[in-house]
Amino acid sequence: MLKTKIAVLVSGGGTNLQALIDAQKDGVLRSGEIVLVISGVEGAYALTRAENAGIPTAVCSRRDSVSQEAFEASICRELEGACAELIVLAGFMSILSEDFTRKYENRIINIHPSLIPSFCGKGFYGLRVHEAALDYGVKVTGATVHFVNEIPDGGEIILQKAVEVLPGDTPEELQRRVMEQAEWVLLPKAAELVSAKIAAGKGE
């Protein structure tokens, strides 16, 4: 079977990217193959993780681009150069326009560290998501992998996993638990699910 070619877009430490790399090694991710890692930030540790795994890398920075169009054109060039068929957003911090998400409809997935539709949308990123969950007082939170469309965190849900909030949790502790118990398990599973579908659609 021809594997689905995956590009992973990152901006930070890349623990979710690492989970994908490990899943590929362990055979959890078997219908897809990571062919490219694009970072929105120069020097992101995620780039080192990719290099250590022998995966080609590129940097496309919004700040160093003259416009959103130029920024997205540079991403598209990299994606096309690598013949990427599935885009995984794994902590990618730059906004992608409707033009971009339309172009790759049902081909972009994202991991969000809450149970959508709670604590998601504009302004809910990083630690803020966990701060909001703690402020509200929910006893269960989690992570969601969803398709990306023009609405922030608004695309169709692919997989979700719940995680307990414990008394006295700090945002950092909760963030860590959500990553360990949900994100690092869920993202590889979802990448496999979608990769398998794309691969099947190729008739292989």
Per CB under 6 A, residues contacting ligand GRF are 10, 12-17, 46, 90-91, 111-113, 179, 183
**By C-beta, is 60 or 199 nearer to ligand GRF?**
60
Alpha helices (runs of H) in the chain, residue ranges in sequence order: 15-26, 45-52, 68-81, 98-103, 127-136, 171-178, 184-201
CB-nearest residue to ligand GRF: 91
SS3 label, residue 191:
helix
Cβ neighbours, 10 Å, residue 57:
18
Beta carbon of residue 66, minimum distance to ligand GRF (angstroms, whole number): 26
- Provide the CB-side half-sphere exposure for 162 (13 A, CA): 6
Beta carbon of residue 22, minimum distance to ligand GRF (angstroms, whole number): 12
**By C-beta, is 112 or 146 nearer to ligand GRF?**
112
Tell me which of 49, 107, 112, 146 is the catalytic residue: 112
Is 130 tagged catalytic? no
Residues 6+ apart with CB under 8 A from 182: 113, 142, 143, 161, 162, 163
Beta carbon of residue 125, minimum distance to ligand GRF (angstroms, whole number): 7
**By C-beta, is 36 or 199 nearer to ligand GRF?**
36
Catalytic residues: 112
